[in-house]
Structure 1
Amino acid sequence: MTVLVVGHVVDDLYQGAVPAIVPFLVAERAYGYLAAAGITVAATLLSSVVQPLFGVLTDRRAMPWLVPVGMTVAGAGIGLSGLSDSYLVTWLAIALSGLGVAAYHPEAARLARRVSGGHVGMGWFALGGNVGFALGPVLVTPVVHHGGLGASPVLVVPALIGALFTVAALRGVRGSRTAVARTGRDDWAQFGRLTVVVMARSIVTFGLGTFLALWVGGPVAGEVALVVLFGVGAAGTLLGGVLAERWGRIRVVRVSYAVAVPAVAGIALVPGPAIYVVVAVAALALYVPFSLHTTLGQDYLPNRLGTASGVTLGLAVSVGGLAAPLIGAIAAATSLRWALLSLTVLPVVAWVAARGLSEPSPDRTVASSAEAVAPLPR
C-alpha cells in the first residue's frame, strides 16, 4: 500500500506539471492564450476520454503492468514536451503524458482497494494523487527555470524511479481476475448518480484552483489561498475515510456537499482575511468525499472495478479541466465574482444527486481476498 500511495504521488505529479510548464512555453515560444489553452486540453481531453476505456480493459483482464507503464509514459510525455519547437510535437507529447495518466489509474485503484483494508487506506491512496498534483510545479519550476525547456527530459526521472519500485512491489501480488471477490449485480443507476456527483465536484474544484489566486489578488495572497485550498483539502481527503468508518459514506458525502454550497458562495462574498477561513471550509467540504467516491463506485460496480475507478478517478480531474474555459468565459462576460458565484450551482447539483444515493448492499460490496494478496515489500 505504501508503494501504491507513493506511486500515485509520482503519477499525478505529471498532471500538476502541465499547468506549471505552460508559462515557460508561453515565454520561450510566444504561445498565445489559445495555444496555451490547447496544451491543457491535450492533457485533460485525452485522459478523460481514454481513462474509462482502460477501466473496461482491466475489467476483462487484470493488467497490473499498466501501473508502472502508465507512470513511465506519463513522465516520458512531460520529458519530451520541451524538446521540439513544433507546436504539434509539443501537443502530442503532452497528450502522451495524459495517455499514461489514463492507463495508470484504473488498475492502480483496483490494486489499492485490494490491499487497503478499508476506507482509510483508500483515503491515503487518494491523498497521494492530490499531493502529487500539488508537487507538479515544485518539480517543473526549478528544472525549467534553470535549464530551459531543453532540460525537460530531467523531469522523467521520478517516473522511472517510481516505476522500478512499483514493479518490485507488484511481484508480491498475484494478479488474476479472481483476485477480488465479486458477488451480486452491478447497480448502474446508483453509479450514474454518483458520476453526476463526481463531475460536479470536479468542475468546482478545478474552477477554484484556476481562479482563486486571481480573485484573492496579489501574488503572495493568491499563493497563500491556494496553499490553504490544497493543504486543507489534502487533510480532508484523509478525514473522509475516518468519518466514513464512523458515520457511513453516504451521510458523509451528503453533509459535505451541503456544507460546500455556502462555503463556495462565501469565497466570492466574504471580504478581507476571513476569506482564508472560508476557503479552508470549502476545501474540507469538497475533499472529504474524494476517496469515498472511488470506494462507492467500486461497490456499485463490483464486477467492473476498473470501469468504476476510471470514471471516479479519471473524471474527477479531467472534466474540471475541460469546463475551465467556460468558467473563464463567464468571468470575461460578467466579472470574476460572478464566475466564482456560478460555481455554487455545482455543489447544489452534487448534493441533490447524492440525496438519491444509497449505501451498497453487503452482497454488492467488494471484499479483499486474503489468499489473493501476498504481503507487499515494506
Structure 2
Amino acid sequence: MSQAALTSQPFKKGIENTNYKILVIIGICHLLNDSLQAVVPAMFPILEDSMGLTFTQLGIIAFSLNMVASVMQPFVGVVTDKKPMPYALPIGLTSTLIGVFGLAFAPSFIWIVFSVLFIGLGSAVFHPEGSRVAHMAAGTRRGLAQSIYQVGGNTGQALAPVITALILVPLGQKGAAWFIIVAAMAVFLLVYIANWYTQKLQLDVKSVKRKGQSAVSAENPFTRKIVLYLVLLLFLIFARSWYVSGITNYYAFFAIESYDFSIEKAQGFLFAFLVAGAVGTFFGGPLADRFGKRNVIFFSLIGTAPFSILMPFVSPTIAFIILTITGFILMSSFSVTVVYAQELVPGKIGLMSGLTVGLAFGMGAIGSIVLGYLADQIGIVLTIILTGFLPLLGVLTLLLPNDTAKKGMA
C-alpha cells in the first residue's frame, strides 16, 4: 500500500480534526515564498537603471521565472503523488535562497537569469507539496484550509509595490540581500512542517493497518467525462488569470493615460486590487464549504463581470472602489478551484494543485504577452475595456457538476 494512496483518502468527519497550527505555518511559508518571488518583478526598475537592461531583457527574466515556477508544478505534483517527499519543501526553499543571493549580487544579465531560475525551481517544488500539506491538515474543512494556505501566497504577491518603494528604491540591487533572511526563515519553518508531514504519513500507515482498511485509489481516474470537466475548469481558471494579468500588468498604464495619474498613484490602485484579492481568497474557502464550490466559482466570475465591464468608464474614485470590489469577488474562487479539482480527481493532490495554480499562472504570463501585443495594436484603453468582458465566460461554470454530483463520480 503506497503512502500516496493513503494521503489521498478523504478524512472522515469526527476522526480527523482541522490542524490550524499547521495551516497557519504553511500559510506563512506561502507568504514568504511568494514575497521572494515578487522581489524579481519589483527589481525591474532598479535593474533597468543600474544595468541598462532593455524591456526585452526584462521580459526574458519574467518569462524565465514564470515558466519554471509554474509549468514545472504539474510535473512535481505527478512525482510527489506517487511518492510524497516531505523534505522537498525546505530543499526547494533552499534553492530559492540561493537564487535570491545570486539576484542581489549578480554582475550581469545572464547571472540574473540563472538566479531567477533557482527562485522559480524553489517555487515549483513548494506549491504542490504546500497544497498537499494544507489538504492533509484540513480535516473536513478543505475549502477553509486551502484559503488559509492560498491567502498567504496572494498576500506575498501583493507586497511587490511595497518591496519596491521601501527596500529596493533606497538600497538598489543589493537590497535584495535582505530577503536572504526571509528565505532562511521559510526554510526553518518548512523543516518543522516536513517533520510533521513525515509523522502524519507514518500515523496514517499505522492507522490503516490497525483498522484493516484498504486504500482505494483508482488506477486511471481520468475518464473521458472527468477530463472534459477538468479542461473546462482550467479554461475558467485561464479566463480569471488573463483578467488578473491584464489588471496587474496594464491597469497602471490605463490610469496614467485616462486619469493623468502619477506612477505612484496608479500603483496605489493596483495595491488595493491585490489586497482585496487576498482577502477574497481567504473568505472564498469557508463560503465554498457552506454554499458549494461550483456556486462560489460561478459567482466569482459572473459577479465580477458587471464591475469589470463598467470600470473603464467611471471616475477615478469610483474606479478605486470597483477595483477593490472586483479583486475581492474574483479571487474568492482562487482556493476553491484547487479543492474542486482535487475532489474531481481524488488521489492526484499534487498534480491538481500544479495544474490549477502553476499552469494557471503560466497561462497568465502568456496572457500578459497577448494583452501587451493587443495594447500595442489598438491602444491601452480599448484593451482594458475588452479585458473587462473576460469574466462573462464564467457562465460556462454551469456545465460543471455540482458538489453532490462530483462526489458521486469520485
TM-score normalised by the chain length of structure 1: 0.89
Determine the C-alpha separation between the residues in 1 that align with 2:148 and 2:264: 30
Determine the C-alpha separation between the residues in 2 that align with 1:207 and 1:50: 23
Aligned length: 364
2:407 is matched with which residue?
362
Three-state SS of the structure 2 residue aligned to 1:31 is coil
1:370 is matched with which residue?
none
Deviation at 1:141, TM superposition (A): 5.0
Query: For 1:72-221, what aligned pairs fall within 5 Å after superposition?
Result: 72-117=94-139, 118=141, 119-139=143-163, 142-173=166-197, 174=199, 176=201, 185-186=221-222, 187-217=226-256, 218=261, 219-221=263-265
Determine the C-alpha separation between the residues in 1 that align with 2:269 and 2:161: 16
Q: Is the 8 A contact 1:79 1:154 kept in 2?
A: no
Three-state SS of the structure 2 residue aligned to 1:155 is helix
Deviation at 1:136, TM superposition (A): 3.9
- Cα RMSD of the aligned pairs, angstroms, is 2.2
Is 1:232 aligned to 2:256, yes or no? no
1:22 is matched with which residue?
44
Determine the C-alpha separation between the residues in 1 that align with 2:390 and 2:29: 31
2:381 is matched with which residue?
337
| Between 212-221 and 127-136, the greater mean CA deviation after superposition | 212-221
1:272 is matched with which residue?
316
Deviation at 1:110, TM superposition (A): 0.9
Is 1:296 aligned to 2:296, yes or no? no
Q: Is the 8 A contact 2:51 2:108 kept in 1?
A: no
Three-state SS of the structure 1 residue aligned to 2:105 is coil
| Between 135-144 and 352-361, the greater mean CA deviation after superposition | 135-144
Is 1:347 aligned to 2:391, yes or no? yes
Q: Is the 8 A contact 1:45 1:322 kept in 2?
A: no
Determine the C-alpha separation between the residues in 2 that align with 1:226 and 1:272: 13
**C-alpha distance 169-51 of structure 1, shift in aligned 2 (>3 A):** closer
| Between 230-239 and 66-75, the greater mean CA deviation after superposition | 66-75
Determine the C-alpha separation between the residues in 1 that align with 2:164 and 2:271: 17
Determine the C-alpha separation between the residues in 2 that align with 1:242 and 1:47: 28
Q: Is the 8 A contact 1:182 1:302 kept in 2?
A: no
| Between 202-211 and 178-187, the greater mean CA deviation after superposition | 178-187
Determine the C-alpha separation between the residues in 2 that align with 1:216 and 1:182: 54
Three-state SS of the structure 2 residue aligned to 1:30 is coil
Determine the C-alpha separation between the residues in 2 that align with 1:30 and 1:213: 23
Q: Is the 8 A contact 2:161 2:271 kept in 1?
A: no
Three-state SS of the structure 2 residue aligned to 1:62 is coil
Identity of aligned residues (%): 24
CA distances 1:71-97 after superposition (whole Å, capped 9, x unpaired): 222232132123233211211111221
Determine the C-alpha separation between the residues in 2 that align with 1:160 and 1:182: 39
- Alignment-mate amino acid for residue 313 of structure 1: V
Unaligned 5+ segments in structure 2 are 1-22, 209-214
- Alignment-mate amino acid for residue 62 of structure 1: P
1:315 is matched with which residue?
359
Deviation at 1:24, TM superposition (A): 0.8
Determine the C-alpha separation between the residues in 2 that align with 1:231 and 1:148: 25
CA distances 1:230-262 after superposition (whole Å, capped 9, x unpaired): 121111112211221221110111122112222
- Alignment-mate amino acid for residue 353 of structure 1: L
**C-alpha distance 140-61 of structure 1, shift in aligned 2 (>3 A):** farther
Determine the C-alpha separation between the residues in 1 that align with 2:284 and 2:375: 32
- Alignment-mate amino acid for residue 87 of structure 1: F
Q: Which has the larger radius of gyration?
A: 2
Determine the C-alpha separation between the residues in 2 that align with 1:113 and 1:215: 40
Deviation at 1:222, TM superposition (A): 1.2
**C-alpha distance 147-256 of structure 1, shift in aligned 2 (>3 A):** closer
**C-alpha distance 109-20 of structure 1, shift in aligned 2 (>3 A):** same
Determine the C-alpha separation between the residues in 1 that align with 2:147 and 2:111: 37
Three-state SS of the structure 2 residue aligned to 1:81 is helix
Three-state SS of the structure 2 residue aligned to 1:107 is helix
CA distances 1:292-319 after superposition (whole Å, capped 9, x unpaired): 0110111111121110011112123232
- Alignment-mate amino acid for residue 400 of structure 2: L
